[in-house]
Chains A and B, each alone.
Chain A
């Protein structure tokens, strides 16, 4: 078991190195002078070409590419992810002030996705090819196909504009103090949109996973000995079908994050997704790069954890 874990851990290292290449490439192809992010604009105007040259030399901007990569990488590993050329703040501080909002949105969405997706998947697998199954799998196709921003706009149109029962966007009313109830009201629509979008693949995977298990011999045995259907589904079926779901949920994180970017824009949610879009619009490489690296590291770690959990939980993986 240890061998599998170590091998899996080592596999993540090259991926992380490649991610760092992508991040560095992003910085290198970005137009504009990194100097502007590091020095005061007023000071820059008054500097002579020689002084500018010296400043670039001092910051290592004239070094060869591999040297610059190495400098950059050691910086990143020490937590220095560069500066925003828009605000002059460190990319890290730009992001950390918005991470909370994104985490609230993601947590609420995941909860909705799991609470809706998995029971629906079980229900569909319980009555395969019957009306309820077709309804649920059809609904999943719809939710996979209809873009998040259209669902979001429709929700705003219905619940915020036509009915006026929920706020159309933002994290709180302008000027009002942040309260738990207020935050919940504000997160309701975006989390529903993002949650339902991610529930759809869960319905499909839970359904197909459970169906596969229900076709196995030990389930037939359980049925043959007269176990009630509920016992068969929950005790024998679900227990065995839930393991692959761990891996699948980790695999869905990239989709979740991608969906969060759009959801945040639609609902004016002050999170990292909107930050990445606005920094893309203003061409702010350090902020974009930092978010890319953070997301990639999170996803790789999540996949790693899922695999480790899998090895720990399923003895069959250890043997083969």
Chain B
């Protein structure tokens, strides 16, 4: 990328803030729908558990594996648990894992990437080669083997994704810091005698925000997919904890797959639509903020 291009995108990024970005996203009808859908699911997933009459663990022994009805909106699973209630709780699990694990790795990735990009040298070499190494192993595979040795549960999954997911963010933050480091206002800040920490915090970081928002929004989708995949593989979150991936696992039983679509289709549909909505919002944010990268798919 040439210098001229960098400056023009920088200018574009700086001129578009807050409301401008929201307006740009909102002007994309599809993205607006996706945003509303995500918000609605967020509300449903976090308010639902407070108002729903049944517990996700309550087994209705008179209604095992029964199709949707008025008393059980999405039917019941083979243990007689209400599928709708479980989907609501599972969505909450998905969203919690998605947002918290991404929050963890965005912080790690930003710090490592900024420090590596700013200081260069041996620090940069160590960080960059570690990033290369970790990115050469599919995150799902890495998460699979680490989850295997830890106590299964929501917190474990959050920590594993959060502590292993940072390399892509690091690479982006580093690249952006590298190009920022030579820009006039950073050189000026250095000349006035500001400490590197101060420069990174007050001058580099604000310029990374646009990129980080895009990385984070696309990362939430990936993290939710990972959580579901781990649950589906029988690792990470274990039954009876409601998780979309764990619920979909029921369909590995061909009888359920064939005869009881209400058990596996609702969680599948919610997971697919939720990830799609998050990705559409992420894509729209990327278009609105126009950072230079491809958003850093993991």
Contact = CB atoms under 8 A, between A and B. Distances in A.
Contacts of B233: 261-262, 265, 277, 280
Interface string A10-28: 0100111011001000100
* Listed residue (B130, B137, B225) with the most chain A CB atoms within 10 angstroms of its CB: B137
Interface in B102-144: 125, 129-130, 132-142, 144
A18 B297 CA distance: 22
B149 A283 contact: yes
A161 interface: yes
A18 B221 contact: no
Interface in A1-57: 11, 14-16, 18-19, 22, 26, 29-31
Nearest to A19: B133
What interface size band does chain B fall in?
35 or more
Contacts of B251: 153
A16 B133 CA distance: 7
Interface string B263-280: 010001001100110111
A146 interface: yes
Contacts of B138: 254-255, 257-258, 261, 295
B228 interface: yes
Given A145-B272, A283-B148, A296 B257 contact: no
A112 B78 CA distance: 37
B235 interface: yes
A296 B148 contact: no
A149 B232 contact: yes
A312 to B, nearest CB: 21
Interface in A131-176: 141-142, 144-150, 153-154, 156-157, 161, 168
Contacts of B137: 19, 22, 254, 292, 295-296, 299
Nearest to A208: B294
A280 B245 CA distance: 17
B258 interface: yes
Nearest to B228: A147
Contact of A141 (B228, B232, B283): B283
B136 A161 contact: no
B49 interface: no
A238 interface: no
Contacts, number: 140
B144 A276 contact: yes
Given A18-B129, A141-B280, A254 B297 contact: no
Given A18-B129, A147-B275, A150-B271, A288 B145 contact: yes
A289 B228 CA distance: 23
B88 interface: no
- Per DSSP, chain B at the interface is helix
A201 interface: yes
Contact of A22 (B133, B135, B297): B133
A26 B145 CA distance: 8
A27 B264 CA distance: 36
A18 B131 CA distance: 10
B275 to A, nearest CB: 4
Contacts of B235: 277, 280-281
Contact of B279 (A141, A255, A291, A295): A141
Given A257-B138, A303-B136, A280 B144 contact: yes
B130 A18 contact: yes
A36 B245 CA distance: 34
Contacts of A15: 129, 132-133, 136
Contact of B257 (A18, A156, A257, A280): A156
Contacts of A222: none
B129 A280 contact: no
A300 interface: yes
A145 B130 CA distance: 28
B271 A258 contact: no
6 contacts: A18-B130, A142-B276, A257-B141, A258-B138, A296-B133, A296-B136
CB-CB nearest 7 A-B residue pairs:
A258-B138, A18-B133, A145-B276, A280-B148, A258-B140, A299-B136, A14-B129
Interface of B: 125, 129-130, 132-142, 144-149, 221, 225, 228-229, 232-235, 245, 248, 251-252, 254, 257-258, 261, 264, 268, 271-272, 275-276, 278-280, 283, 297
Interface of A: 11, 14-16, 18-19, 22, 26, 29-31, 141-142, 144-150, 153-154, 156-157, 161, 168, 201, 254-255, 257-258, 261-262, 265-266, 276-277, 279-281, 283, 288-289, 291-292, 295-296, 299-300, 303
